[in-house]
């Protein structure tokens, strides 16, 4: 994700299209029962079980060269482990590809975003590379691998969706995933593509900003839905529409995360950054760490932005403050920020992990605070590991409170070891800052610092 200093946003409202047309089984020939069994009991053989239906190349605003497109399952069976072989060459025919060790190679294997393609399904793909080794002049793609898979799709749809395109050409598709099925759903991948008037893929990406577990339709606390964001690098020409692709499977596991999230306030700081502030209490009987997914909505229920913050590990029964900040859309689009009417906050069970090792309560010392223009409050201090064990990190949480003791802001930072661990008796420094609402009088505020020693 790119951090823009200034952004001029073009808001593009489009009608969501999700047309995944199943191709006919061209070239199908009967097989013997033995051959069918060898192929996983499929009733026919397809000359091209997987095909590349679109491919394109472009260079984004950061100078990265992309090869994007889509593949389709043309067979009547589920297919997994789809592999594409990519070649990228300069004008002289020299390969510009490198392996993970930086060695020049003739080709690389890439994969589409979907892990399994059901019959007729389409999945986009995107490969990007820097151009330090040369200017790409051509590319070649071919399907070189696949295997039979198996999956049961869930009835998950995209709702309340819209797009924003910034001055760097990055397009953000924001919306909500909704499980309309009677069983829980696990979202394997969510991806999006920008397409031209004919539906050809021009650019694509997958999302890392989403709720992956969705409860059955009608679940309490609206856990059958969650906001998402897909960021697609640009600029991209001739965009007429966008498409979203959801790979979600049914699951028998119904998960509830034993945490309580309390919203305290939301505000825009002097720099235009939006903050969603609250507290979270661990109601489970073990230490856990997790992410809180936040969503911002307009009055018409369309999603304006989605974002998350990691919290923990935190011990059973403890409460910590949090601030979901650095939003991709509302921080840079005044018109979007002005439309914020409601919010959601939820913990995705897919992102919850237990922490088997005991946690240590530590103390911050020699804390100094400095105020800066724009209602920024800076903190510096030290933490001494006075536990009996070496630590992997020391997590610092700072809550900001008004004169009535209400939480109005929060920030956090992590002290990491300079070596393998933080030794017993070691003293290390930390610094953190929080940007508060311009109307807040810093002179009447107080703060509380919580430090957690983490060992694995």
Q: What DSSP string runs through 70-111?
A: EEEE-SSS-EEEEEEEEEEE-TTS-B--B-TTS-B-S-EEE-
Structure confidence at residue 42 (pLDDT): 38
Determine the average pLDDT of the residues in 111-116. 98
Determine the average pLDDT of the residues in 415-439. 96
Structure confidence at residue 20 (pLDDT): 32
Structure confidence at residue 101 (pLDDT): 93
Backbone angles phi, psi at 294, to 5 degrees: -115, 150
3 state DSSP class of 311: strand
3 state DSSP class of 443: helix
26 sits in which H/E element = none
Structure confidence at residue 374 (pLDDT): 86
| pLDDT, tens only, 116-141 | 999 999 999 999 999 999 999 999 99
> What sign has the CA pseudo-torsion 381, 386, 387, 392?
positive
Spatial distance between the Cα atoms of 452 and 141, rounded to a whole number of angstroms = 50
Q: Could you give the count of Cα atoms lying within 13 Å of 369 in the half-sphere of its Cβ?
A: 16
Portion of the chain with pLDDT greater than 70, in percent: 90
| pLDDT, tens only, 357-402 | 889 999 999 999 999 988 999 999 999 999 999 999 999 999 999 9
Does residue 1 carry a pLDDT above 80?
A: no
Pull the structure tokens for residue 138.
């051509």
| Better-scored residue on pLDDT, 34 or 307 | 307
Q: What is residue 21's DSSP assignment?
A: P
Spatial distance between the Cα atoms of 412 and 82, rounded to a whole number of angstroms = 41
3 state DSSP class of 246: strand
Of 265, 308, 295, 291, the C-alpha closest to 348 is: 291
pLDDT band at 46 (very low <50, low <70, confident <90, very high): low
Q: Please report the DSSP string for 328-363 in residue order.
A: SSTTT-HHHHHT--EEEEEE-GGG-EE--SPPEEE-
pLDDT band at 40 (very low <50, low <70, confident <90, very high): very low
pLDDT band at 436 (very low <50, low <70, confident <90, very high): very high
Determine the average pLDDT of the residues in 295-324. 97
Spatial distance between the Cα atoms of 173 and 244, rounded to a whole number of angstroms = 9
Portion of the chain with pLDDT greater than 90, in percent: 83
Does residue 69 carry a pLDDT above 80?
A: yes
From residue 328, alpha-carbon distances to 77, 109, 196, 402 in Å are 39, 31, 24, 28
How many other β-carbons are positioned within 10 Å of the β-carbon of residue 298? Answer: 16
Please check whether residue 70 is in contact with residue 47, taking contact to mean a CB–CB distance below 8 angstroms: no
pLDDT band at 37 (very low <50, low <70, confident <90, very high): very low
Does residue 14 carry a pLDDT above 50?
A: no
Mention every residue, 6+ apart, whose C-beta is less than 8 A from residue 208: none
Of 241, 184, 260, the C-alpha closest to 216 is: 184
| pLDDT, tens only, 222-268 | 999 999 999 999 999 999 999 999 999 999 887 888 999 999 999 99
pLDDT band at 43 (very low <50, low <70, confident <90, very high): very low
Q: What is the mean pLDDT of the chain?
A: 89
Q: What is residue 408's DSSP assignment?
A: E
Does residue 195 carry a pLDDT above 80?
A: yes
Of 76, 79, 82, the C-alpha closest to 46 is: 76
Does residue 112 carry a pLDDT above 70?
A: yes
Please check whether residue 361 is in contact with residue 439, taking contact to mean a CB–CB distance below 8 angstroms: no
Does residue 323 carry a pLDDT above 90?
A: yes
Structure confidence at residue 45 (pLDDT): 55
| pLDDT, tens only, 156-191 | 999 999 999 888 899 999 999 999 999 999 999 999
């Amino acid at each position: 994700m790119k951090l823009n200093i200034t952004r001029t946003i073009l808001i593009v409202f489009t009608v969501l299209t999700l047309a995944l047309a199943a191709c006919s089984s061209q070239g199908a020939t009967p097989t013997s029962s033995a051959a069918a069994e060898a192929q996983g009991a499929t009733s026919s053989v397809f000359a091209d079980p997987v095909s590349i239906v679109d491919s394109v190349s472009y260079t984004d605003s950061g100078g990265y060269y992309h090869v994007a497109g889509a593949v389709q399952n043309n067979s009547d069976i589920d297919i997994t482990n789809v592999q594409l072989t990519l070649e990228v060459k300069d004008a002289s025919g020299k390969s510009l590809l490198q392996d993970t060790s930086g060695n020049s190679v003739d080709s690389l294997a890439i994969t589409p975003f979907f892990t399994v393609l059901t019959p007729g399904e389409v999945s986009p793909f995107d490969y990007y590379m820097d151009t330090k080794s040369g200017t790409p002049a051509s590319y070649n793609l071919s399907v070189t691998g696949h295997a039979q898979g198996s999956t049961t799709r869930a009835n998950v749809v995209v709702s309340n969706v819209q797009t924003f395109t910034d001055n760097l050409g990055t397009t953000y598709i924001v919306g909500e995933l909704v499980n309309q099925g009677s069983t829980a759903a696990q979202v394997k991948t969510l991806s999006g593509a920008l397409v031209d008037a004919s539906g050809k893929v021009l650019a694509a990406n997958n999302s890392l900003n989403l709720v992956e577990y969705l409860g059955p339709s009608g679940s309490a606390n609206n856990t059958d839905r969650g906001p998402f964001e897909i960021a697609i690098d640009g600029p991209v020409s001739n965009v007429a529409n966008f498409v979203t692709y959801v790979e979600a499977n049914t699951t028998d596991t119904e998960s509830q995360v034993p945490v309580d999230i309390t919203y305290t306030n939301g505000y825009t700081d002097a720099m235009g950054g939006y903050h969603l502030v609250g507290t979270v209490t661990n109601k489970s009987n073990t230490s856990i760490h997790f992410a809180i997914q936040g969503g911002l909505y307009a009055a018409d229920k369309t999603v304006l932005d989605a974002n998350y913050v990691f919290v923990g590990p935190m011990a059973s029964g403890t409460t910590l403050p949090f601030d979901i900040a650095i939003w991709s859309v509302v921080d840079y689009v005044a018109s979007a920020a002005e439309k914020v009417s409601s919010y959601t906050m939820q913990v995705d069970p897919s992102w919850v992990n237990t922490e088997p090792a005991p946690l240590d309560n530590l103390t911050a010392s020699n804390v100094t605070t400095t105020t800066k223009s724009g209602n920024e409050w800076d903190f510096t201090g030290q933490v001494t590991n006075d536990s009996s064990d070496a630590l992997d990190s020391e997590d610092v949480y700072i809550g900001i409170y008004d004169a009535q003791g209400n939480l109005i802001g929060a920030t956090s930072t992590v002290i990491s070891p300079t070596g393998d661990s933080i030794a017993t008796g070691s003293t290390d420094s930390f610094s953190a800052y929080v940007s508060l609402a311009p109307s807040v009088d810093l002179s009447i505020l107080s703060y509380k610092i919580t430090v957690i020693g983490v060992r694995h």
